[in-house]
Structure 1
Amino acid sequence: MAAKLPSETLQHIFNYINDTKTLYSIIQVNHDWCQNGIKFLWKEPFRNDIKLKNHIMILPILLAFVNYEKVLKTLENNNEPLLEEKEDFQSLSEPLLFNYPYLITHLDFHHLSRIILIFFKKSQYFKSSNKQQEREGSQITNPNNKAIKDSKLVFNIECCLSMVLNIPASRQSLENLKYLEIGSNFLKLSILENLSKSCKQLKTIQIREENFHVIRQSFVSLICNQNRLENLIIFGNGVGNSPEGYNYDATISEIFSTLKTVAHSLKKLEISDVFVRDKEALKGLIQCTNLSTLHFENSFISPGNFQWIALAELPRLQCLKLIRNWSSDEETTDSQHNPMEEIFLNKRKSSDLKELSLKNFKMENFKLLEPVSSNCRNLVSLSVLVKTNEDISNISSLLKNLSTLEKLELSTSGPFTYDINTETIIDMAKILPKQLYYVNLIKIIDRLDDFEDFLENCAADLKYLYIEFSIYYFFKVDRHIEFVKNWSQKNGKETRLLNITWYHVNLEWC
């Protein structure tokens, strides 16, 4: 039957198969299935979830596409191009059924470099062919050998990858690359320079970098050269290291200036561990009319940049996450105002939000939750840091008019909840939406007895409940376990997970 299916149908089927084992099984049906399945197996060949031994088997296949005469010529002539511009993957050492390099759309350079090292370590080129070589090899690997102790082995992954990426044939194979993720711990300047020339169709760019001033021009060029970039994810150097010098602010501002170039297609912007101090840095958000996810975490954001977030209409924004950020303004240090408030005064933007997370420990809420409770009426997921009874009251006001909520997470910033009354939490439990199935409370409830009151009064149809207590009492929990069993039976629920200790409760129902 498979042989009778048209190619378009087979391609459609394989588009929805993500399980590698299933693909391996299906392509054994016949040649037609194999032709359509093989390209999906090779889309992302170097993934973390594939065993190393399978990766090592893949590398020789790719090496068959290398013209070794050109490689030797390059080494002899000191970086002369490996292939002429007019050449392609046609002169192979042996015939192959598929042009595998052109099937690759996703590359993980961090994982790939690790695989290459292991491959060459196990390769026949590193095995001794006679006893003399074996004796020499044993001397080399001997940890007591002083010559080895005083020497160094340098493996410049940047140079290796840059040389590979600079091959015209490699540039051609990267033309259709859709996803690019580059980690830290190695220099990436020349790699980004080569990628910016080859990759024009990236949908996702994810980078982790400590020295943005080094890669400034090449990274900006990479972003600006994309035709349909949808996801931009940037991880910086961490809040513990305040960046000074190296024109850090100007560098970050220039990177964010690329938002204007990709605004027509950008759907997700995620920034972590970055200092955004230039007042004009986030001005480009105004043009990002297709942005659906905006996520800032563990970052410094100046009040002026919060204003740009507020001014941007972002008509398609559905997910807003502001987590562990902080802001300061020397002129308004005594102001009882949270700079994020203005974001939620825009009713059009707030009313369309489906997922909202506000957990900024270094910033006071003040009146932040008032516009949230008034305007965010279509939330499916809500995660909030609460500090006072007023915060709980605002959330309760929101819950009364929020019939769409499915997930609720509340946490406090300190070890105790002296500013939050248990009665306020119990009252909130009574008005939880019926369809709410996930509740996570961190140090909101004091102790186990209060947990029983919360569960007894809970109006939601829970499937998951996690509570971490703010006050620990060392006593037996048998009585509370029995309470949960009786409550579950009374409400027609089958318990899948029942874990109660003196410091937390973790419950799941079918």
Structure 2
Amino acid sequence: MPCQLPADCLNEIFEYLDDKKTLHSLLFVNRLCCKISIRILWRNFWKYRIVDIDLGRCLNILVACLPNESKELLLKNGIFISTPTSKPSLFNYPAFCKVLSINKICLIVNDVLEKIPITSLLSKKDRNYLIINEIIKMFITQSYSLKELTFYNDTYVIPNEISFICFSGAIDCLADLSELHCSSRLPSEFFYQLSKICHNIHSLSIYMKYNNYFPNEFKELISLQNNLKNLKLSTTHRGDWTDIIPALTKHSNTLTKLHLNSTYNNRTLPVSFVALFSNLQEIKISFTSTFGKIQFRDFGKLQYVTFPKLQYLSIPIECTMLVYIKNFLENNGKNLKGLCIVGLDHDRFLNLSIAKFCPILENFSTVFELDTLKTIFNSCQYLERIEIFYEEHFLGEKEVLETVARHSPKYFCELTTIYNKSHTKLLPEDLESFFISWKSRASKKSLILIIIRPFCIDSLETNEENMEIIRKYKNLGIIKKFETKIRECEDED
């Protein structure tokens, strides 16, 4: 007789299989496997990128899940949206939801209904927001406890039209919210209502656009959190985080991760306030700019500040003066396990400083010259993973692979190559020579090889002969994993 594992054991196993393809295959095993898989898949219905899914089918599924009174309301207003089946749902799918994205609901509804003619007395805007509010109400009233909420003010969302915070059941649903991603320009009433419900937000992402003012209700919401650990501040188009800094000081002892991001912003933004958070374990600074100016000029005030628990740093070279970064690493490099320093202004001496001041690095991303890559390998003996940005005038692929095979330390097992603008020039015989050398290393760890490239750039996986070699050494156990990731070219629309 076949043995059925207990439900709690299957739950534990399925949690480790949290990928769409595997979980979908388990839907057809039996009812118990189906229920466990559905619960995990619906936990974050918005997990998959919009470009990878059928928006029309998503809307059909969401409407099918609506309670009867919501469906009747839509029909009463002349709104007809087909559903996958007329049969009742096997499960109460929204009850499994732990993540709610207001923005993706708005995007799906607005995008799918954009070209569908009006069949009622409602305007297109009123029709769309009636559907949006009914879908949001379904999640708020039926989900037992949301953990993550995303609500940005963008072209798809008019916040004043969305009143989900006042729906019956919102208090119970949002009481345990631990992640909030929001705009600073949302109505103050939203922040006021949320501040009465949510006091245990651990991760907060704030997006600022065209403003440098925060409602007092938002500042109060931030101050009332009991254990804020992760913070991301993102600005664009004249946004500024200066006004919010005093409200963050209460969390100087609890904050462990901080990400400051500026995109196409002509403001000079402060970063010296980071010194307030002495327990930071991760600091990430990022920006994209067409204004040709340093956006974080006061980073110099951080160069001699010590963060005793800092383990990860990511910073673009162009954001400040190189000497400030070098001094910062001299004071904080000894505990760093992860480091990402990239930019157009590659500096050989900065990499040599990293080799000197960051002895226990495990993960490293930057642009290298060949001799500094060897120095990094020789100095950082705990290095496990490295990301190499291919700039044609610095490194050749063949030379990189030879250096990795001959000089990488014994713990090293993962190489990520990032192509920007140059096509691959690696020959199949060079690739095979690398795998033969890797096989003969003292360390017998299998290699993880990841390629990140723009859609318009050819890398080694575009050559079938290269792929035959990769399959060969994957079968031999020399390669543990090979993966290609595509990103858009900067000059593409």
Q: What TM-score, normalized to structure 1?
A: 0.63
**Paired residues, number:** 427
Structure 2 CA distance for partners of 1:29 and 1:175, relative to 1, 3 Å: closer
* Aligned counterpart, 2:475: none
Structure 2 CA distance for partners of 1:106 and 1:345, relative to 1, 3 Å: same
Structure 2 CA distance for partners of 1:51 and 1:477, relative to 1, 3 Å: closer
| Structure 2 residue 417 is matched with structure 1 residue 458 | no
Report the Cα distance in structure 2 between the residues aligned to 1:445 and 1:454, rounded to whole angstroms.
17
| Structure 2 residue 145 is matched with structure 1 residue 194 | no
* Aligned counterpart, 1:43: 43
Aligned partner (choices 215, 220, 230) of residue 268 of structure 1:
230
| Structure 2 residue 405 is matched with structure 1 residue 436 | no
Identity rate, percent: 17
Aligned partner (choices 181, 192, 205) of residue 233 of structure 1:
205
Instruction: Between 195-204 and 461-470, report the one with greater CA deviation.
Output: 461-470
Report the Cα distance in structure 1 between the residues aligned to 2:107 and 2:191, rounded to whole angstroms.
27
Contact 1:231 1:267 in 2 (8 A): yes
Structure 2 CA distance for partners of 1:94 and 1:310, relative to 1, 3 Å: same
* Aligned counterpart, 1:176: 145
* Aligned counterpart, 1:83: none
Residue type matched to 2:234 in 1? S
Contact 2:98 2:143 in 1 (8 A): yes
Contact 1:46 1:55 in 2 (8 A): no
Instruction: Between 279-288 and 450-459, report the one with greater CA deviation.
Output: 450-459
Report the Cα distance in structure 2 between the residues aligned to 1:305 and 1:369, rounded to whole angstroms.
19
* Aligned counterpart, 2:274: 309
| Structure 2 residue 188 is matched with structure 1 residue 217 | yes
Aligned partner (choices 340, 354, 364) of residue 408 of structure 1:
364
Q: What TM-score, normalized to structure 2?
A: 0.65
Q: Which structure has the larger Rg?
A: 1
Structure 2 CA distance for partners of 1:69 and 1:344, relative to 1, 3 Å: same
Aligned partner (choices 309, 330, 353) of residue 352 of structure 1:
309
Aligned partner (choices 244, 268, 284) of residue 281 of structure 1:
244
| Structure 2 residue 78 is matched with structure 1 residue 106 | no
Residue type matched to 1:189 in 2? P
* Unmatched segments (≥5 aa) in structure 1: 77-92, 127-151, 238-242, 327-332, 413-420
Report the Cα distance in structure 2 between the residues aligned to 1:436 and 1:156, rounded to whole angstroms.
55
> What's the offset of the Cα at 1:383?
0.9
Report the Cα distance in structure 2 between the residues aligned to 1:29 and 1:497, rounded to whole angstroms.
34
Instruction: Between 389-398 and 174-183, report the one with greater CA deviation.
Output: 174-183
Structure 2 CA distance for partners of 1:325 and 1:251, relative to 1, 3 Å: farther
Report the Cα distance in structure 2 between the residues aligned to 1:120 and 1:475, rounded to whole angstroms.
47
User: Residue 324 of structure 2 aligns to a residue in which SS?
Assistant: coil
User: Residue 180 of structure 2 aligns to a residue in which SS?
Assistant: strand
Structure 2 CA distance for partners of 1:256 and 1:7, relative to 1, 3 Å: same
Q: Deviations over 1:302-340 (max 9, x none)?
A: 889423210222x2x3221112379xxxxxx9xxx9633
Instruction: Between 371-380 and 483-492, report the one with greater CA deviation.
Output: 483-492
Report the Cα distance in structure 1 between the residues aligned to 2:341 and 2:315, rounded to whole angstroms.
5
Please tell me the root mean square deviation across aligned C-alpha atoms, in Å: 5.3
Structure 2 CA distance for partners of 1:270 and 1:223, relative to 1, 3 Å: farther
Report the Cα distance in structure 1 between the residues aligned to 2:384 and 2:268, rounded to whole angstroms.
34
* Unmatched segments (≥5 aa) in structure 2: 79-85, 452-456, 462-469, 471-477, 480-493
Q: Deviations over 1:204-235 (max 9, x none)?
A: 2234x6xx54x241453365342322222234
Counting only pairs closer than 5 Å after superposition, residues 6-155 of structure 1 correspond to structure 2 as: 8-9=8-9, 11-20=11-20, 22-23=22-23, 26=26, 30-33=30-33, 36-45=36-45, 48=48, 55=58, 58-59=61-62, 61-66=64-69, 98-113=91-106, 154-155=124-125
Q: Deviations over 1:146-177 (max 9, x none)?
A: xxxxxx9834476325642786x764235622
